[in-house]
Chain A
Amino acid sequence: MNVLVVDDDPVVAASCRKVLEPEGIRVRCAMSAGEALVAVREGAFDLMLVDVKMPEKDGFIFLREARASVPLAPVVVMSGFSTQETVAMSAEAGACLFLPKPFTPDELMHAVRRATGASKGG
């Protein structure tokens, strides 16, 4: 499984890599929306974990732009700003799940499985 993690914070990217790679998941990290757009066009991913607040372009803008160029894999939006509005905007942006930060490895895996499973099921 290929997962794209889009987050400007290296700690988060490292955390995801730390949890997902032992499970046999290939993780590619993008530190910005621009980087992520390049990555999306280059390779196919099974899942994207996208942060909301990033410099220059936030996660929602990235999703809109990415969706305009290629069909997208299931998306899980991660945010430390886990308000109802953020959750609602995530759903609007096409995310199938909202993962509030901080999360434990179990919570992350649960989300990944649900997202991919849901996508497979749907």
Chain B
Amino acid sequence: MGKLVISTRLRLVASFLAVTLLVGGLSLLVGTQLIYRAVLREAQARISLDLNAAREIYDDRERSTLLALNVAAGDQSLRGASDLLSAGRLSTRLAEVAEAGTLDFVGLVSADGRRLAATGAGSGVPANPIALLALRQRAAVAGTVVMSREELAAEDASIAARALIPLVPTAHAAPRPDTPETAGLAIAAAVPLLAADGSLRVLYGGVLLSRNDAIVDLIRDTVFRQETYNGQLIGTATIFFGDLRIATNVRTPSGERAIGTRVSEEVKQKVLDEGQPWSSRAFVVNEWYVTAYEPLDDIQGARVGILYVGVREAKYTDIRTSALLVFVVITLVGIAAAIGLGIFLGQLIMRPVSQLIAASHRVSDGDLTPEIGPVSRSEIGILQKTFADMLGALRERNERQLADRERELLQSEKQASVGRLAAGIAHEINNPLTGVLTFTHMLLRRTDLDASAREDLTTIVQSTERVRAIVKGLLDFSRQTQLDPQQTDVNRLIADTITLAANQALMKGVRFCFNPAEGLPCRTLDRNQMQSVFLNMFLNAIDATDNGGHIDVSTSLTLSPEEPGRRNIEIVIADTGCGIPASLLDKIFDPFFTTKEVGKGTGLGLSVSLGIVERHGGTIHVASRPGQGTTFLVRLPLDGVKRP
């Protein structure tokens, strides 16, 4: 029983668990991945926009450089005759221009490229490439230029020194000889102007991008607005010269700007070699970033570097991690709920069932009043109710059977004890009775007796005859065990028996009416015993009926009310006599019960009759109304005789 309950409960819990795990696990995997991808895509889209903004800032720096030079070019002091030029004054003026435009170098060259003045202390040879370009084109130019170490040094030794960047070994970078970068990348502009003497001059200036924190920090601060994650600025911007970081706010693990490190080979190939923008995850220095790269072209259209913006991926992976965590928590809660719900539902469903099982065990052990528990409102309730009804029916049948058995037992015990007694008595009494009868009769034969003695002797004889009748009755009662069955026509038997009782009826003034059923089949029965049954009933009826009354006897063939398909022969004996009080109806089949006065009956009649009829498989029913009469119904099954 316990096993069944547990396994059903387990099965319930297991199914709930399976569903939860399936749903939870799937949403865990799919959901986390979906969220992560969506977030990443969003981040990617944003970083691409950010790169546009960075490019705008970069281009703006070109424009502002050009603007500063344009403004300065209107100054008459730059147009004076070259020989009249006061080198000191001009230098001061150029320094002002440099400061106003936050330029690293500003210079003025003549049409042949000869330096007239400059902010730096360099030799001026070789001439600045942007200035030469403006001279060649005779127009204002602005853009990115690559300046060799010599060109940088021609401006100022400090600039050349700034541009010197030693290589830092970088994972994932393309192989490159380990020689320091000496060239520099600059945003520069040059504006031609006409001197007072009509000769051409070029005012040029620029910003060296190498180790220039201002631009990349401006980009970062503008684009990412100081956004931080875990206490660190999340956004980064970098300007590459070739694949080399020359200006960046990406930090090395030690916290320094990662100048001298290089872009990963993958990005270099795509952006620098193929000229394509890159927008994806990328390994930057020592960490994964969500990045966007695009090539930087110099003023002549050659790819010379890369512009980069990126945010640390940690923020997004952390989102994934926390989403994962949330899903895990939800799944765990779901599992706990599933187990709880499974156990609860299992108990809810199984409690009435296990109670029913326990109840049926108790029923099989003989207890017909087991506890079924409260009736559930589900289908199990119907089962419970049916079970309870069944128990009720069982109890009722049991009680009825018990009562029947007790009554039968009592009856048969009575009969058995009376039988044994009767047999003993009959045997022992009959011998002395023989003596009494013989000697009394012999005395009566004498002729010398006076009338009084003869009368007394006659009384003795009569009394002895009574004793003989009583003993015979006892014996009849005791020996009612075996039947001598033979094919008998019941109608005929009854008619014969009525004839036997006819004399008595005539004397009492009682009329017999016999109404035999037609076509009543013959039945095997003990003719003698059954005759004594009917005779006894007829004599009882005659005794109970007064002068002028009648006794109706009828036979009929009926269908068995208990066993469908079986037929009974019914014999009804109804008198119009004094009837039997209801209080005595139960007792009339008891041995020795009689209502007759002393000497008129032994009381064994009906008890014996019932025994005989029952041995024939039949029943006797009696109904009576005091003052109106009594009806006996003898019912004999047509088929089969119950053997003792």
Contacts and interface: CB of A to CB of B under 8 A. Distances in A.
Interface string B419-432: 00001001111111
Contacts of B433: 80, 101-102
B475 A82 contact: yes
Q: How large is the interface on B (under 10, 10 to 19, 20 to 34, 35 or more residues)?
A: 20 to 34
A81 B431 contact: no
Given A12-B434, A80-B427, A104 B441 contact: yes
B493 to A, nearest CB: 18
A58 to B, nearest CB: 12
A102 B479 contact: no
Interface in A9-32: 9, 11-12, 14-16, 18-19
Interface in B406-461: 423, 426-439, 441-442, 445
A111 to B, nearest CB: 13
A114 interface: no
A14 B475 CA distance: 25
Of residues A7, A11, A14, which shows the largest number of chain B Cβ atoms within 10 Å of its Cβ? A11
Contacts of A81: 423, 426-427, 430, 475
Contacts of B464: 102
Contacts, number: 74
A15 B434 contact: yes
A116 to B, nearest CB: 20
A11 B435 contact: yes
B442 A19 contact: yes
Secondary structure call for the B interface: helix
B484 interface: yes
Contacts of A53: 427
Contacts of B432: 11
A60 to B, nearest CB: 15
B441 A101 contact: no
Given A81-B475, A82-B475, A85-B479, A102 B426 contact: no
Contacts of A103: 434, 437-438
Contacts of B435: 11-12, 14-15
Interface size class of A (residues with CB under 8 A): 20 to 34
A18 B431 contact: no
A108 interface: yes
A83 B475 contact: yes
Nearest to A78: B434
Nearest to B436: A102
A88 to B, nearest CB: 9
A14 to B, nearest CB: 7
Contacts of A69: none
A80 B431 contact: yes
A122 B61 CA distance: 167
Nearest to A86: B479
Interface of A: 7, 9, 11-12, 14-16, 18-19, 53, 79-85, 100-106, 108
11 contacts: A12-B435, A18-B439, A79-B430, A82-B426, A84-B479, A84-B484, A85-B479, A100-B430, A101-B430, A102-B464, A104-B438
Interface of B: 423, 426-439, 441-442, 445, 464, 468, 471-472, 475, 479, 482, 484, 528
Minimum-distance CB pairs A-B, first 5: A80-B430, A102-B433, A15-B438, A11-B435, A101-B430
